[in-house]
């Protein structure tokens, strides 16, 4: 019966005879010998590895001299794998104190949607790759004639790219993709959407609001309104401005009217508005209807996304989709046929945000990004300079730049309302400079007359805070001076973008004190430019000393003037919004 006896556990019995044990030990020794040879041939043997090998080899030698009765096939495999782990283990773990095995630092890569990672790039320099307007097939002959009347003979690269994309959206079978455009200031973004939208609406039959343009400040809204007026009047298209330039009741009269049947009719084809005023009319104007809207344009889109007035984006979308109009989400053939007028969103900005959370709030449909660069761009014709001085010397520096260096038509930026007000009165008391302050206390007509006087050279320096840094086109700005150093990259880009527009030359000077020097250098390194030349202006100390008596006298009178005069509320946008 012993022939049929099977020992499953064999804790105390031999599973192999002596010959099999010798053969197993020989295999182990051969493997250990190969491992030792590999270690000796390695270029940079590690001391710790040698020690571990020495320790791991001793049990094998003991097994050779004193064979264990319990050894079996599983013991062979376990011993072999243990030896392998000891040899290669130091390659997988950092040895403390060994410089050769320092852990490599891993850099986390920001994960962006594909359309943000892979934009369609266009030429940054507006003087290159321009397109002649003669023979353009995608613009009507009337629009080309109007362009020539306004001395425009070529389209800039941004316009050559964006205009056909918008116009093709009406001829395609599939819903149009939303378009995001990031391009430097002065690159022609306004005309890139005004021209195709007017061209697409010129044959409309029934007057409904088809285009809505939203802008962050009313001055910029007025500027865009004037451009639409220029190019739409020949086609009988009406443009309404909702930016508090007129009374609320007058704006209502320009939007809708009640017919003999008691129904409200739209009087506007295009609406240009600021967010707050737009919300007022959505709630307060009878017959104000956005259900037939085809295009919504967000100019200065990064600033618009920061607007929280009455949650205006959701208010507008509720008005658009107040009936059975379908959103372009989870689209299929049936849904598309039920929505013959899909809504296309157009975003434009010099510093378009790449924050997916902010862009998600806009509910973009299959967006495409057209970018003049992957970083913040400044105008290629801009000459950048800076002056390094102490805080006490800043008033003397700006006086010297105007009186000694003869800079005229200067747009001067400060960071705060109080700073703009104080600098204005200080230069006013000195008396040798024609200075004005851009103030919200001025009426619209007075502000426009002031800007016209500045453009004609009747004003030496115009002081303002960050409101004019965004999008507003002040004509003939020769020089931009940042009296207060900008804190953020976007602020710097928008400030210097007020000059050197549309290919013209311009100068930007930043007054930097010692404490701001390091942060200013970081901002400058982050800006993409055609040239790395950043000039430092070294003002002669003697020139500053000559101006000291005038400044001292003005400073003595300044406190009394500030107490008597009411603080002027300068146009201001807080730094967190810029």
Over residues 397-430, the pLDDT tens digits come to 999 999 999 999 999 999 888 888 899 999 999 9
Distance of CA 439 to the CA centre of its chain: 28
Higher model confidence: residue 497 or residue 348?
Answer: 348
**pLDDT tens digits, 208-263:** 999 999 998 888 899 899 999 999 988 999 999 999 889 999 999 999 998 888 88
Phi (first) and psi of residue 29, to 5 degrees: -65, -40
The answer on pLDDT for 283 being more than 80 is yes
Of 192-196, 205-209, 282-286, 300-304, minimum mean pLDDT range? 300-304
Higher model confidence: residue 44 or residue 21?
Answer: 21
What is the DSSP code string of 82-119? HHHHHHHHHHHSPPTT-GGGPPPPPPPPPP--HHHHS-
Structure confidence at residue 536 (pLDDT): 92
Is residue 26 within 8 Å of residue 64, measured between CB atoms?
Answer: no
Partners of 388 in beta bridges: 512
Per-range mean pLDDT, top range of 99-108, 273-282, 345-354: 273-282
Environment class of 316 (CB within 10 Å of its CB; exposed 0-12, middle 13-18, buried 19+): buried
Structure confidence at residue 55 (pLDDT): 45
Is residue 154 within 8 Å of residue 131, measured between CB atoms?
Answer: yes
Mean pLDDT of 499-523: 88
Helix (H) or strand (E) holding 137: none
The answer on pLDDT for 13 being more than 50 is no
Domain 382-577: CATH superfamily is: P-loop containing nucleotide triphosphate hydrolases (3.40.50.300)
Phi (first) and psi of residue 239, to 5 degrees: -115, 130
Structure confidence at residue 526 (pLDDT): 75
**pLDDT tens digits, 367-381:** 999 987 645 667 778
Environment class of 534 (CB within 10 Å of its CB; exposed 0-12, middle 13-18, buried 19+): middle
Structure confidence at residue 92 (pLDDT): 56
Structure confidence at residue 127 (pLDDT): 67
Structure confidence at residue 551 (pLDDT): 93
Is residue 464 within 8 Å of residue 496, measured between CB atoms?
Answer: no
Rounded to whole angstroms, the Cα distance separating 143 from 150 reads 11
Is residue 465 within 8 Å of residue 413, measured between CB atoms?
Answer: yes
The answer on pLDDT for 45 being more than 60 is no
Token pair 């000891």 is at which residue?
86
Rounded to whole angstroms, the Cα distance separating 262 from 18 reads 112
The answer on pLDDT for 50 being more than 90 is no
Mean pLDDT of 30-56: 63
User: Would you give the DSSP letter of residue 127?
Assistant: T
Structure confidence at residue 488 (pLDDT): 82
In 359-458, the DSSP E strands lie at 368-371, 382-389, 410-413, 435-437
Higher model confidence: residue 497 or residue 392?
Answer: 392
Distance of CA 419 to the CA centre of its chain: 27
Which CATH code fits 114-371? 3.40.50.300
The answer on pLDDT for 94 being more than 90 is no
Is residue 490 within 8 Å of residue 578, measured between CB atoms?
Answer: yes
Distance of CA 131 to the CA centre of its chain: 27
562: confidence class by pLDDT, cuts 50, 70, 90? confident
Structure confidence at residue 294 (pLDDT): 93
User: Would you give the DSSP letter of residue 187?
Assistant: S
Rounded to whole angstroms, the Cα distance separating 524 from 446 reads 36
Q: 382-577: same fold as 114-371?
A: yes
Of 288, 298, 360, the residue nearest 322 (C-alpha): 288
The answer on pLDDT for 51 being more than 70 is no
Phi (first) and psi of residue 410, to 5 degrees: -100, 130
Name the residue ranges covered by the structural domains of the chain.
2-101, 114-371, 382-577
Rounded to whole angstroms, the Cα distance separating 167 from 135 reads 16
Structure confidence at residue 83 (pLDDT): 46
73: confidence class by pLDDT, cuts 50, 70, 90? very low
Q: Distance from first CA to last CA of the chain, Å, rounded?
A: 95
Is residue 232 within 8 Å of residue 290, measured between CB atoms?
Answer: no
- Please state at what angle helix 18-41 crosses helix 73-92, rounded to 10 degrees: 10
User: Would you give the DSSP letter of residue 404?
Assistant: T
Mean pLDDT of 541-569: 84
Percent pLDDT > 90 in the chain is 35
Of 164-178, 226-240, 543-557, minimum mean pLDDT range? 164-178
Higher model confidence: residue 95 or residue 441?
Answer: 441
91: confidence class by pLDDT, cuts 50, 70, 90? low
Is residue 142 within 8 Å of residue 176, measured between CB atoms?
Answer: no
What mean pLDDT value characterizes the chain? 78
């Amino acid at each position: 019966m012993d022939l049929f006896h099977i020992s499953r556990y064999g804790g105390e019995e031999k599973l192999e005879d002596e010959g099999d044990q010798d053969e197993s030990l020989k295999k182990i020794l051969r493997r250990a010998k190969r491992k030792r040879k590999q270690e000796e041939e390695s270029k940079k043997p590690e001391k710790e590895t040698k020690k571990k090998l020495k320790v791991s080899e001793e049990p094998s030698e003991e097994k050779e001299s004193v064979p264990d009765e319990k050894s079996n096939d599983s013991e062979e495999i376990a011993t072999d794998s243990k030896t392998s782990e000891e040899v290669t283990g130091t390659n997988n773990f950092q040895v403390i104190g060994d410089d050769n095995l320092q852990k490599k630092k891993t850099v986390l890569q920001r994960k962006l949607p594909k359309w943000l990672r892979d934009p369609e790039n266009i030429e940054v320099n507006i003087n290159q790759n321009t397109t002649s307007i003669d023979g353009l097939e995608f613009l009507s002959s009337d629009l080309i004639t109007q362009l020539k009347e306004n001395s425009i003979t070529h389209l800039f690269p941004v316009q050559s790219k964006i205009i056909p994309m918008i116009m093709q959206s009406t001829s395609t079978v599939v819903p149009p993709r939303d378009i995001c455009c990031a391009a430097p200031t002065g690159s022609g973004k306004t005309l890139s959407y005004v021209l195709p939208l007017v061209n697409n609406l010129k044959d409309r039959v029934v007057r409904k609001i088809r285009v809505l343009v939203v802008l962050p400040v009313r001055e910029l809204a007025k500027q865009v309104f004037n451009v639409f007026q220029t190019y739409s009047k020949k086609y009988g298209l009406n443009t309404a401005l909702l930016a508090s330039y007129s009374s609320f009741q007058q704006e209502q009269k320009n939007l809708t009217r009640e017919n003999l049947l008691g129904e409200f009719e739209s009087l506007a084809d295009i609406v240009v508005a600021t967010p707050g005023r737009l919300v007022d009319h959505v709630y307060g104007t009878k017959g104000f209807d956005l259900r037939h809207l085809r295009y919504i344009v967000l100019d200065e889109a990064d600033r618009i996304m920061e607007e929280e007035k009455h949650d205006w984006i959701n208010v507008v979308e509720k008005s658009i989709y107040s009936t059975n109009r379908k959103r372009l989400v989870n689209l299929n053939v049936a849904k598309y046929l039920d929505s013959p007028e899909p809504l296309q969103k157009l975003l434009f900005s010099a510093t378009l945000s790449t924050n997916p959370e902010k862009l998600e709030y806009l509910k973009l449909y299959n967006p495409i990004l057209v970018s003049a660069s992957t970083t913040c761009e400044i105008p290629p014709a801009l000459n950048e300079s800076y002056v390094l001085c102490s805080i006490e010397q800043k008033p003397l520096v700006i006086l010297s730049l105007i009186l000694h260096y003869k800079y005229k038509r200067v747009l001067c930026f400060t960071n705060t309302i109080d700073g703009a007000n104080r600098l204005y009165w200080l230069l006013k008391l000195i008396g040798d400079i024609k200075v004005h302050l851009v103030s919200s206390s001025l009426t619209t007509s007075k502000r426009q007359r002031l800007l016209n006087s500045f453009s004609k050279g009747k004003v030496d320096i115009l002081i303002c805070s960050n409101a004019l840094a965004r999008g507003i086109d002040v004509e003939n700005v020769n020089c931009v001076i940042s009296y207060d150093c900008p804190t953020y990259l976007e602020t710097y880009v928008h400030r210097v973008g007020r000059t050197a527009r549309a290919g013209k030359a311009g100068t930007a000077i930043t007054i930097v004190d010692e404490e701001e020097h390091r942060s200013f250098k970081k901002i400058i390194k982050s800006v993409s430019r055609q040239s790395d030349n950043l000039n430092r202006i070294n003002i002669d100390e003697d020139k500053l000393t000559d101006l000291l008596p005038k400044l001292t006298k003005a400073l003595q009178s300044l406190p009394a003037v500030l107490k008597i005069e009411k603080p002027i509320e300068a146009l201001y946008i807080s730094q967190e919004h810029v």
